[in-house]
Amino acid sequence: MEITRVTVTDLKSNCYIVKANDEIAVIDPGGDVEKILQKLDQIGGTVKCIIATHYHFDHTGAVKPLVEHFHVPFLIHENDVPFLDNLTADLALAEGDDVSIGDEALQVLHTPGHSSGSICLLGDGFIFTGDTLFQFSYGRTDFPGGDEDQMQSSLRRLHEILSPGMIVYPGHGLPFTVKA
């Protein structure tokens, strides 16, 4: 699986372009649609879907133009669907769902706390954590749908899942490798 990070918006959100075989998923396109389209042109392949790890504008700002450009479905956790403004989810994700990209799959982990529908996407040796987990901190819990107790529970769960050598791709900041 080929993973490309594109930093977008003034909030420096990470948009990830994930390619397996010739299929592509775009994760958390928060804005700067032209920048994302330019990177997609460079990478080549067929965009299969757009996925948001949560509903916040800095992770969904470019969803609508990308969906309209590529005519592909938009996926987000079912608990965040009610919070979407001017967007329609084509598929509401739930815990344990798999999103197939080429011959690879990303497993949906429901990790509420930053929002009630925050998710992480677990691959083979890597994970996209959205705003649930950053290298030295975690996402805020004071936005609508956020909950500190749920966040702590989600972080404990991730602690059990993450193993040394795994690469973490957060919603903000640099990717990092889990240490022993």
Q: How far is CA 7 from the centre of its chain?
A: 13
For position 88, what pLDDT does the model report?
Answer: 93
pLDDT at 163: 96
* Predicted pLDDT at 64: 98
Stated as kind and residue range, the H or E segment containing 42 is helix 33-43
pLDDT of residue 178: 97
Count CA atoms closer than 13 A to 32's CA, side-chain side. 19
Domain ranges of the chain: 2-177
pLDDT at 65: 98
- With a cut of 50, list the residues of the chain below it in pLDDT: none
Fold of 2-177: Metallo-beta-lactamase; Chain A (3.60.15)
Cα–Cα distance for residue pair 81/169, rounded to 1 Å: 23
pTM to 2 decimals?
0.97
